[in-house]
Amino acid sequence: MDVCAGVVQVAFRVHGMGSNGMFHRNSLNAFLHPHAAFSQLPFRNLTQDHGACGFHRNLHMKHKLVVRAGPKKILFDTKCRKALQVGVDKLADAVSVTLGPKGRNVILSDEHSLKVINDGTIIAEAIELLDPIENIGATLVREVASKVNGEAGDGTTTAIILAREMIKSGLLAVAYDINTISLKRGMDMTVKELVKILTERSSPVQGRDDIKAVASISAGNDDFIGDLIAEAMVKTGPDGVINIEQSRTSETSILIEEGMKFDKGYLSEAFVTNEENGILEFENAKVLVTDQKILSAKEITPVLEKVIQLGVPLLIIAEDITRQVTQTLVMNKRKGILKAAVVRCPGILLGKKALLQDIAILTGADFICQDFGLDLSDVSSDQLGVARKVIISKKSTTIVADPSTKLEVQARVSQMKKDLAEMDSKALRQRLSERIAKLTGGVAVIKVGGNTEVEIEDRKLRVEDAKNATFSAMKEGLVPGGGAAFIHLSKEIPVITSSFEDPDERIGAEIVKKALRAPAKTIAANAGVDGDFVVENIEASDWRHGYNAMTGRFEDLIDVGVVDPCRVTRSALENAVSVAGLILTTQAVLVEKIRKPKSLVHDIPGITC
C-alpha cells in the first residue's frame, strides 16, 4: 500500500517585520497567538465578490509556512513480516558460512580497501540492502550481533543463526492464526528457564589448558593464537589487561608491561581519538592525579600551558570537573592546541584515595590531595606523572606505566603485602588484595604481524575474538562447544512446557527447540557432513559429548577442548529470542517510498534507453 501525504500550506501576513527580516515584539505575539493575529487581518464584507474565503484579493502574502510529508510505503500483516524475513535470510546466509572450524571467509570490498573476513560482527555491519523493508529486517538482526558482541565479545554468528530459525518457524506458526503475543511469551519463558539450566551446568575455567582451548576455538581453531592468549592470561592474571597492536614485522609476539586498569571512562565522546573502536589513545602522556573538583579552567591553566609547551597529551584524573572546563578542553583539542582527557576518580569512600595513591605511584606523579593542603593552581610540571600509553573507553581506563617507575611500584606492592598479612578484617583484606592485583596484574601487548595488510587485519580480528571469549569464560565458565550445548538444552524443553497451560505458548517453546538445533547443523554443513545425522547423534549422548567438526568424531568435547564460554552461549540465546519476538509481533512496516529518477531523455517510440 502506498500512501502519499498531501502538502499543507498555511499562508498569512506578518505585520511589523523589519527590513532585516527580524520580528518586532508585536509580530512575535501575533505569531504565538494566531487567533488574535487573524482577527487583525483586513477582512472585507463576505457578501462582496472577493472570493469564497472572504479575504481581500489584494492581500499580499509576505510569508508562507509549508509542512510536507513525503510519500510512504506501508506493508501490513504477512507481507511485512515476509519482507523482513527476506532481509534476515540474506544477512544470515552471508554470516553463517563462517561458523565452525571449517567455516569459510567472506570478502568485503568498499571504495577504500579489500578485506578477507571471518568475523560475523564485521560482516553483519557491512550489509545494507536496497529494499528498505528488507533492510529493516537485516538491521534488526544486525543489532543482535552488536549486542552479543558488546556483552560477550563473541558468538555473533550463532546469535544470528538462532534468530533466523526462530523467525522462520514463528512466521509459519503465525500463518496458521497462532496468537503472536502468546507465542512470544512462550518463547521468552522457555529461554529464561534454559538460561538457568545452562548456568547450573557450566564448568569453571581451570588452568592454562582451558584458557588455550577457549581462545583457540574462538580464533577458528588457531592453536598459535590460543597459546598467545593463554600466556598473556597466565602472566597478567584474571585482572590483567590484554591490548592488541599491529607489529612492525611479519611476526606475532607478546610483550608484558606494568600497568593498571580501572572502571572509569572518558567524560565526553569528543575526546575520542580512534573513531572506529570508540576509544581514546595517548602515548607518552602526562598525568595529573587529584581528589579535588576542578571548577574552572583557571585552576589548571598553568598545567595546561606547560603541557602545550612540551607538546605531549594530558590525562586528568579528578573527583569531578565542570562542563565549562570540559568544553574548554574539547575546544582546544579540536583546534589542535592540546590533547587532553578527563576521567573521574575510581573507587568509593575511603578506598578512593588509596587507589589514587596507587595511580600516582604507578605514574610517578604527586597526589594532589586537599587534605595535604595542596592546591591545583600551584601544581608544577614536575608534579605530573607520565604514562607510556593510555587507553580510555566509555567504561574503563588502562594506564601502561613508564619503565622508570618500576622500582617504586615494587616497593608499594611489598608494603601492601605486609599490611595484608597483619589485617584481620575480611572486607579490608579483600579490598587490599584487589589493589595489589591491579598493580601487579600488568598489561599484555600482543603485537600482530603478517605478510600483507589483509592477513594482519584478519589475524587481529581473530586475536580480538579469542581475547573476548577468554574473558567471558573466566567470568561465567565453560559449556560444550560445537552447538552441542544448545541441543542438550533442547532436551529439557518438554519438562519446561509441562507447566504451560496456553497451547500457543507451547508452540513458542517448540519454535525455540527447533532453533536450538540450527548452530550444530550449520557447523556440520560447513564441514561437509549431514546436519540431521549429527543432531540425532548428539541428542542420544550426555551433556559433555558432541560432534568435533575438526576431527569428524563424536567425543567428550570438554576433554578435547571443544568448549564455548557460558556467557557467549547465554547472550546469543537471549538476544536471538528478543529480536525474533519483535519481528513476530510486528503488524505493519512504514518506510520512505523510493522514487525512481526521471529520465533526462524523452521517450521515443521504438527506442529504449
CA 397 – CA 82 distance, rounded (Å): 45
CA 559 – CA 442 distance, rounded (Å): 31
Q: Are 389 and 279 in contact (CB under 8 A)?
A: no
Share of the chain above pLDDT 90, in %: 49
Average pLDDT in the chain: 84
What confidence tier does 601 reach under pLDDT thresholds 50, 70, 90?
low
pTM of the model: 0.69
pLDDT tens for each residue of 463-500: 998 998 998 898 899 999 999 999 999 999 999 999 99
pLDDT at 376: 86
pLDDT tens for each residue of 368-390: 988 888 888 888 888 999 999 99
Q: Are 129 and 138 in contact (CB under 8 A)?
A: yes
Identify the CA nearest to 103 among candidates 212, 222, 252: 222
pLDDT tens for each residue of 532-566: 999 999 999 999 999 999 999 999 999 999 999 99
Check pLDDT > 80 for residue 592.
Answer: yes
Region 237-257: what's the mean pLDDT?
A: 82
Region 421-432: what's the mean pLDDT?
A: 81
CA 283 – CA 287 distance, rounded (Å): 11
pLDDT at 605: 61
Tell me which residue has cell 571504495.
111
Helix segments in 396-554, DSSP class H: 406-422, 426-441, 453-476, 484-490, 493-497, 503-515, 518-526, 531-539
CA 259 – CA 400 distance, rounded (Å): 4
Weakest-pLDDT range from 267-271, 355-359, 432-436: 432-436
pLDDT at 261: 85
- Radius of gyration over every alpha carbon of the chain, rounded to an integer in angstroms: 31
Weakest-pLDDT range from 49-53, 71-75, 434-438, 591-595: 49-53
